[in-house]
Structure 1
Amino acid sequence: MAGAIGAAAIATSLPDMPAVFLLPLVFLVGGMCGAIWGGIAGWLKARLSVNEILSTVMLNQIAIQLYLFLIRGPLIDPKEVSYGTGVPQTALIPEQIWLSRLIPGTRLHSGLIFALVLAVLVYVFLWRTSIGYRMRAVGAGPEAARYAGIKVEWYLVLAMALAGGMAGLAGVVEVTGVHHRALEGISAGYGFSGIVAALFGRLHPLGTIPAAVLFGALLLGADMMQRAVNIPAAMIMVIQGLVVLFVVSSDYFQSNTGSLARLKAKVFREKGDKEGGES
């Protein structure tokens, strides 16, 4: 939301700027808007120990309402006002910064290449730089990282700001590659689908790539599946929920092998008691 509205605002306010300057500026502003919003959650976690899940969910609601206020008020398309229709959306961004289509006649645009490059850069940053190593150390064990002399609070804010910045860039891609404006319902829950894809990819930037392709195909085919074979589109939400359940439970049992052994023993014991009672 923050990245999308930031991109639309800067693009519509500078329509005469050459595309070679405007497009990078749009991505920069959108990424910064997302980074600021994510950094707030990081600061709350670092300074006040506010759970990041709780703070981001609440900040999401604030962002949604602020976004709706802007596209219905200060940033609404002047044509909607003059025509009296009042559709909540901004004016179209300049056509010269629209992302090009990779396959004519489809919605597949060059934002896909941008996302793949970004995933590789994130991998290099986290696994091939000292800052990335410290950030992963803070995520794996904050107290151990603090004992090793790492500034845990600073890296918490940095991690959340970078995550918010990448979410902001996703909003920029939606504006420049798909809708070409900021409008109501632009997100459609993509952030939550991204969380599921990240879990399915084992929280690895490169593993997230095939996971994102898989869940993108599921989301895209949901409506077609409902029309073709009468399977509810909500089944995709069920699949996403099962993925989260299986990934979380598998991590738990891998780290607690004793619990898995006790569960197996209990299941087989109950099965044996049942068979013994029937005989």
Structure 2
Amino acid sequence: MSGSTPNAADAARPSEQLPPAGGPLTGEQVPAPPRANVFLRDLMRGSAVTTLLAIVLAMIVGGVLIAVTNEDVQAAAGYFFSRPGDTLVAIWTAVYNGYEALFRGAVFNPRGASFEAQIRPITNSLGFAAPLIAAGLGVALAFRVGLFNIGARGQMLIGALFAGLFAFNLDLPMWIHLPLTLIAGIVGGALWGGLVGLLKAKTGAHEVILTIMLNYVAFYLLLWMLRSPGLLQMTGTNQPQTRPTPASAQFPDLLGPLFPALDWGFVVVLVATVVVWWLIERSSLGLRMRAVGENPHAARAAGINVERLYVYAMLFAGGLAGLAAMNQIQGTVVTGFGATIDAGIGFDAITVALLGRSRAWGTFAAGILFGALKAGSFSMQAQGIPVDIVLVVQSLIVLFIAAPPLLRAVFFLPKTDVEKAAKARAKAAKKAVAA
């Protein structure tokens, strides 16, 4: 039985060391990962880090565009291989000057002759942000109810129409005229938005088609009224423009005449942000709205009147767009408005709402960011940098936020559990096909 007796060589061979068995099948508990690791993993996967990195990456791409379009960089690139240092210095100078001008025009101007002149850029940014925040809140609120509201432009135009038609011709003291004009604009926008909700609730028509078409209806209706004497057209002219906003209907300056871009309209928008946050996150109506946005069929099965909530959501969204229009005609454009009073804010609001992830305070922060970019773009333009680069940066921010896997791949961030599961399924499917 020599096969059953180990020989001397086998006895001298060291025994194979295997790792100790563990896991639920052995009855032993696998130790949890350290809390610091879990915190860092969740932090790097969070929406805040994703948003910040999207802004950083968009700024990097914007810097590349600034360098490529700069004349000094183009001239130095012609002899790059003989003196590469000149090209690198030119690139650094172009990008630094561009973003320094952006900061100087949006946040703080150290070249200002006085303290008021130095901090005026941040007040300009807040002034530009106010209508963006208001319209963005309207779009974000509709998003939370599962509605894609791209009709903020039309709602703004109708809000301005109501204010000009029903409030401009009144001679009232400021404490009556100002809030009356504000309410008229909000009501006009709310009715135009509520019409979309009503049509969707009663006919099932898609809100995207409705809002697109009603944008055109609002634009041409306002244009017709601006060209019709006796309606909105200013007396004594044939230009499609209203009379100036009455002084008693204008928002007073918030910090005085040295900061004309920032008025009490920003405070109204801040209050609107608090109201929208409370409505969506804390009220019972907001709970039902969020339930409809998550799954309208389940909400209907739970006894929620989905159609009614569609109408409510679009009423609120239109009213917020009307508030954005009032920030325009009661604060920014007080010399009389035309059919382009929306100034693209209605469509920019979609970007702001997406960047803010359809949350009230996220939309507030996104509006301030876009207001700062708009304020800083004028200083960049003075440096010879095309203002379109700022628009490209804005678009790239939303693009990168809409593609989190791209950001994680660029910055080597940990994948989410959903992405890991999808990758595992893809590998299993590939192995099955190969077998």
With the shorter chain as reference, the TM-score category is: 0.7 to 0.9
Q: Write the letter of the residue equivalent to 2:289.
A: M
- 1:230-265 per-position Cα deviation (integer Å, ceiling 9, x unaligned): 332122332232233223333999695257637997
Match of 2:217 in 1: 62
- 1:60-111 per-position Cα deviation (integer Å, ceiling 9, x unaligned): 111111111111212111032xxxxx22211123212211112423321111
Where 2:287 maps in the other structure, the secondary structure is helix
Match of 1:232 in 2: 386
- 1:201-244 per-position Cα deviation (integer Å, ceiling 9, x unaligned): 1110011111100001112222331231x332122332232233
Picking from 21, 24, 37, the partner of 2:179 is: 24
Deviation at 1:132, TM superposition (A): 1.2
Match of 1:78 in 2: 235
Let me know the Cα RMSD of the aligned residues.
2.4
Q: Write the letter of the residue equivalent to 2:317.
A: A
* Alignment partner of 1:94 is 2:246: yes
The 2-side partners of 1:69 and 1:127 are apart by 41
Larger proportion of helix: 1
C-alpha change, 1:101 and 1:151, in structure 2 (3 Å) is same
Where 1:13 maps in the other structure, the secondary structure is coil
Q: Write the letter of the residue equivalent to 1:59.
A: L
Picking from 366, 379, 396, the partner of 1:211 is: 366
* Alignment partner of 1:112 is 2:266: yes
Match of 1:38 in 2: 193
Deviation at 1:43, TM superposition (A): 2.0
C-alpha change, 1:264 and 1:112, in structure 2 (3 Å) is farther
C-alpha change, 1:244 and 1:48, in structure 2 (3 Å) is farther
Answer 1 or 2: higher relative contact order, Cα 8 Å, separation at least 6. 2
- 8 Å Cα contact 1:8/1:182 also seen in 2: no
Where 1:21 maps in the other structure, the secondary structure is helix
Is there any run of 5+ residues in structure 2 with no aligned partner, and where?
Answer: 1-156, 407-414, 428-435
Deviation at 1:148, TM superposition (A): 0.7
- 8 Å Cα contact 2:300/2:306 also seen in 1: yes
Which 4+ runs in 1 deviate beyond 4 A?
251-256, 262-265
Deviation at 1:48, TM superposition (A): 2.5
Paired residues in the alignment total 258
C-alpha change, 1:61 and 1:258, in structure 2 (3 Å) is farther
Task: Name the larger-Rg structure.
Answer: 2
The 2-side partners of 1:254 and 1:232 are apart by 38
Match of 1:257 in 2: 419
Deviation at 1:19, TM superposition (A): 2.1
Match of 2:89 in 1: none
- 8 Å Cα contact 1:71/1:182 also seen in 2: no
- 8 Å Cα contact 1:135/1:155 also seen in 2: yes
Match of 2:107 in 1: none
